[in-house]
Amino acid sequence: MCGIVGYIGPQQAYPILIKGLKRLEYRGYDSAGVALMNDNQILNVYKAKGKVSDLESSIEKKDISGTIGIAHTRWATHGEPCQANAHPHYSSSENLALIHNGIIENYAVLKEKLQKNGYVFQSTTDTEVLVQLIEYIRVSHEIDLLSAVQLALRTVVGAYAIAILDRNNPDEIIAARKSSPLVVGVGDNEFFLASDATPIVEYTNKVIYLDDEEIAVINRNTGLKIVNLKNVEVDHAIQTVSLNLGQLEKNGFPHFMLKEIFDQPSCIMDCMRGRINVEANNVVLSAVIDHSERLLAAKRFIIVACGTSWHAALIGKNLLESFCRIPVEVEYASEFRYRDPILSADDVVIAISQSGETADTLAAIELARSKGAFIYGICNVVGSSIARATHTGSYIHVGPEIGVASTKAFTGQVTVLTMLALTLGRLKKTLSEERYLETVKELASIPEKMKHVLELNEKVKELSKPFTYAHNFIYLGRGYSYPVALEGALKLKEISYIHAEGYPAAEMKHGPIALIDAEMPVVVIATKNGMYEKVLSNIQEIKARQGKVIALVTEGDEIIANVADLCIELPKTLECLEPLITSLPLQLLAYHIAVCKGKNVDQPRNLAKSVTVE
């Protein structure tokens, strides 16, 4: 949801800002802009509708000099994507330029007040209201910029990560955050700002994650000072990030999504590294060991998440209930936060989020915390807001996920949930030693099995071609495969724009079966497990109505091969681990259909990777 970059130091800012925007483009890509202060104290602002490359071509031959600057890539909330609504926004005097990620909820009231005071607006954004408000406060109260920013931020309601340049103070950037991420990179006599560490790691691995309602004053001569909205200075330890640049490149793949699908065997190894000891047949999640008393005393688990992470949560429910015999509820974070849920100190809330920045999940955590629940986070982005807002947790360690469609994060989340259920199940003694050992051993073999599945890539590509013209798809699965069906449908709709629905297979006859005819492709997860016979009957019902069945089956299954139109054969694994295998061909299917349709799979329309607004 919008990417922010800033630079101040001895180097030319523009190349650093543009490169940074490209790294953050997954956060939003409907318009982009940059503000640069040149040596003559001229504050140049350039903006363009479209991608960062459109911004670059629009400013060829313009003055892009300057060693201090801020830049933004937008995912529109208030106002259509157009040049006027792109950031940075000038204040009326054009003395200030501001970029913003978040939403100013009370912008309408503030705008009306400013208009009554003679302020004229160039855009329909909430962001322009904020920069005008800061200028209004500064001028009317005759105070310095920092004080004006503090007052303005105490007036606004909503979420923000902002950075401001001031023509009258050419050696300083002021930046602040609340509920939207902001990282300060600390180099040698230079500082960087960004929505996450990815634009910074090329220059320094030393970062500071700002907390809510903190303001960074970054001055070329006096360095970095962090204060809160009441101007109390705040001390922050500098942290070291361990991202490497290779993780941020496509490495020869045509799209990040395909690279990330193929990354999965090694990512899942990374996720399990140091946690699974195959020789000792043992799983250790340090967060569980450190907080075992609290976790074992839980009367109930509630998992909160959104989108793909919510699908992983459904698999987590099956695992935790089966291995730990504890009731688990799975909630959309966006519903949970407004539902007045029944919560107590006996509950453990598990928050799952790849980005660790999803606004609804963060709000759900805050609510649960306020009711005394213990919060366990499962995140990918190290140091993210959710990772910091939880009592404890486990990173999935699958490396940066750049493609907007989540792939390796999903399997990473499921892997962590499996390890969590195994560890707790053994501690609670609700899981037999035999089942524990069998599952640990099989989990350790999943990366190898994933490699075999990925060898089917060409087959899936060929198979996908006739479906490029489909208008609808149904995905069916039962038990552990039902959330995989939901995830397969989500993958297809978000990148190919084909309407797709996932259902528990047995639900089909309660309504969706009415949709089935010769034009309807139905993807059925029909692996050899406890549900096999039932799912086979569902396939027969579809075929009886001329539906086109694409079945995911276990290697060597001839029965379904004789009934289904197309089969994808997958290596056998334990039923509870099947999502780690069956989700891969569905990711590939969605990818190839979308590529065949000529869609931008890494940056699908209307979407953004990190949903930091409601």
Residues forming the site for ligand M6R (CB under 6 A):
306-309, 353-355, 358, 361, 404-406, 490, 494, 610-611
Q: Which residue type is seen at 243?
A: L
Nearer to ligand M6R, 405 or 535 (CB): 405
Pick the closest to residue 99 from 207, 10, 21 (CA basis). 21
| Cα torsion 534, 448, 583, 418: sign | positive
The distance of closest approach from Cβ of residue 495 to ligand M6R in the complex, given in angstroms and rounded to an integer, is 8
Nearer to ligand M6R, 30 or 135 (CB): 30
Residues 410 and 583 sit within 8 Å (Cβ to Cβ): yes
Residue facing ligand M6R at closest CB distance:
307
Strand partners, 472: 499
Structure tokens at 284: 């250790």
449 is catalytic: no
Beta strands 472-477 and 499-504, pairing class: parallel
The end-to-end CA distance of the chain, in Å, is: 10
Residue 333 CB, nearest distance to ligand M6R (Å)?
A: 8
- Give min distance, CB of 534 to ligand M6R, in A: 29
Q: Is 70 helix (H, G, I), strand (E, B) or coil?
A: strand
Report whether 346 contacts 298 (CB < 8 A).
yes
Q: Judging by beta carbons within 10 Å of its beta carbon (0-12, 13-18, 19+), is residue 86 exposed, middle or buried?
A: buried
Kindly state the smallest distance separating residue 199's Cβ from ligand M6R, in Å.
Answer: 18
Which two tokens mark 222?
Answer: 């006096």
203 token code pair = 């220059």
Q: Closer to ligand M6R by CB, 73 or 353: give it.
A: 353
Residue closer to ligand M6R, measured from CB, 69 or 604? 604
Q: How many CA atoms lie within 13 A of 591 on its CB side?
A: 27
Strand residue runs (E) in 187-333: 191-194, 206-209, 214-219, 223-228, 239-240, 276-277, 282-283, 300-305, 328-332
Residue with smaller CB distance to ligand M6R, 8 or 500: 500
Beta carbon of residue 21, minimum distance to ligand M6R (angstroms, whole number): 20
**Residues 292, 294, 299, 303: what is their CA dihedral angle, to the nearest 10 degrees?**
-80
> If you search the block for the tokens 């001569």, which residue do you land on?
221
CB neighbours (10 Å) of residue 344?
10
Angle separating helix axes 408-428 and 433-454, nearest 10 degrees: 170
Q: Which is nearer to ligand M6R, 4 or 18 (CB)?
A: 4
2, 271, 306, 576: the active-site residue: 2
For the bound state, the minimum distance from the C-beta of residue 355 to ligand M6R, rounded and expressed in Å, comes to 3
Residue 73 Cβ vs ligand M6R, minimum distance, rounded to whole Å: 17
Q: Smallest distance from the beta carbon of 291 to ligand M6R, in angstroms? A: 22
CB of 118 to ligand M6R, least distance (A): 41
Query: Whole-number minimum distance, CB 405 to ligand M6R, in Å?
Result: 4
If you count DSSP H runs as helices and E runs as strands, how many of each does the chain have, helices first? 20, 26
Of the residues 178, 528, 599, 609, only one is catalytic, namely 609
Q: What is the bridge-based pairing of β-strands 96-104 and 89-90?
A: antiparallel
Please choose, from the candidates 211, 212, 194, the residue with its C-alpha nearest in 3D space to the C-alpha of residue 203: 194
> Does residue 2 carry a catalytic annotation?
yes
Query: Is the Cβ of residue 227 or residue 414 nearer to ligand M6R in the bound state?
Result: 414
Comparison of 66 and 585: residue with beta carbon closer to ligand M6R = 585
3-state secondary structure (DSSP) of residue 301:
strand
DSSP codes of every residue in 427-494: HHT-S-HHHHHHHHHHHHHHHHHHHHHHTTHHHHHHHHGGGGG-SEEEEEE-TTHHHHHHHHHHHHHH
* Cβ neighbours around 546 below 10 Å, total: 11
The residues carrying an active-site annotation are: 2, 609
